[in-house]
Amino acid sequence: MFFRSVLFLFVLNLPYLLFAQTVAVVSTTQIYDITKNIAGDDVKVLSILAPGQDPHTYSPVPADIEKVKSADIVIENGLHLEGKNWMKNLAADAKKPLVTASDGIVPLILEAHGEKINDPHAWFTPQNAAVYVNNITRALIRIDPEKKENFVMRAKLYLAQLRALDGWIKKEVSVIPPDRRVLVTNHDAFNYFAKEYGFVNTAPTGWSTGSEVGGGVTPERREKAVRSIKEMRVRTIFFETTINPKLIREIAADAGVRVGGSLYSDSMGDEGTPGETYIGMMRENVLKIVRGLK
């Protein structure tokens, strides 16, 4: 009777045992898309952040805790993109293995409030995105080795797409005269992109992520931002999709420059938009930058 009961329970749970899917929970939309390109249908990928949410200022909610509890692996950007290490804390509390997608990248350095910090926006070059791909591929193989061949094959295809993206960006930005390659945005998100493709990237004093951009800039700091734009002879400035554009439009009007539209920075676009993928967001950013600065 005992063995018959055990056999019955085993048969009852056999579909689950055979088809239980590996779960990866990631922090940001960019990492979600990169992971999904490698995972395909072999891994269920869940993102903590939705399109339009800012990883610097995000605070986890109870639903995030439940997501991480369901995970076999947790993947973050790292370099303190996830403000106050919220992804690390979620993984540690749930006792889940944590992978940092940016491991191995030599970070650029930012000056913030008199301190030097690592620039976390490493995904803004296809070369760095390729590092993310390799780190994530190795992590998925460790957690689900039976699917190794699938992960490797998908990663090879995606790496080829990233190489093509890099070549396309170089060709497109080449039409912008060197003296016009000044990229002004809300906050210092585009330093990796600027260094790789020959731009001067600046976010004038007072433009940062969070409440300051939402309207808390003092008149003095705003005036300094306007003066900086004029001194650099900037033609067009841009705002970012995760930040309210009201202040940027006002500063552009004061400085007598155009607003070139919104750029994807800390988040990709909503499903169904041109920026819903990593490659799509990079493509759309380049198109707007070239149109605004050439």
- pLDDT computed for residue 4 by the predictor: 58
Residues 126, 162: Cα–Cα separation, whole Å: 5
Identify the bridge partners of residue 117 per DSSP, sorted by sequence position.
Answer: 110
Q: What is the mean pLDDT of residues 141-162?
A: 98
Q: What is the mean pLDDT of residues 267-274?
A: 96
Six token digits for residue 127: 């070369």
Q: Which amino acid is at 194?
A: A
Supply the DSSP string of 77-110, one letter for each residue.
Answer: --TT-SGGGHHHHHHHHHT--EEETTTT----EE
CA 107 to chain centre: 15
Q: Tens digit of pLDDT for each residue in 176-188? A: 999 999 998 887 8
Burial of 180 (0-12, 13-18, 19+ CB in 10 A): middle
pLDDT band per the 50, 70, 90 thresholds, residue 203: confident
- pLDDT computed for residue 213 by the predictor: 42
Residues 290, 101: Cα–Cα separation, whole Å: 29
Q: Tens digit of pLDDT for each residue in 61-92? A: 999 999 999 999 999 999 999 999 999 999 99
- pLDDT computed for residue 65 by the predictor: 97
Q: Which residue has the tokens 């339009």?
A: 52
Which comes out higher in pLDDT, residue 213 or 276?
Answer: 276
- pLDDT computed for residue 251 by the predictor: 87
Query: With contact defined as beta carbons under 8 Å apart, do 144 and 39 qualify?
Result: no
Six token digits for residue 220: 């003095």
The domains of the chain, with CATH numbers, are 18-166 (3.40.50.1980), 176-293 (3.40.50.1980)
Q: Within 10 Å of residue 129's Cβ, how many Cβ atoms?
A: 24
Identify the bridge partners of residue 98 per DSSP, sorted by sequence position.
Answer: 74
Six token digits for residue 47: 């993102």
**Separation in Å, CA 147 to CA 26, 41, 278:** 19, 11, 24
- pLDDT over 90 (residue 19): no
- Pairing, β 43-47 against β 22-26: parallel
- pLDDT over 90 (residue 219): no
- pLDDT computed for residue 280 by the predictor: 98
- pLDDT computed for residue 224 by the predictor: 82
pLDDT band per the 50, 70, 90 thresholds, residue 266: very high
Q: What is the mean pLDDT of the chain?
A: 89
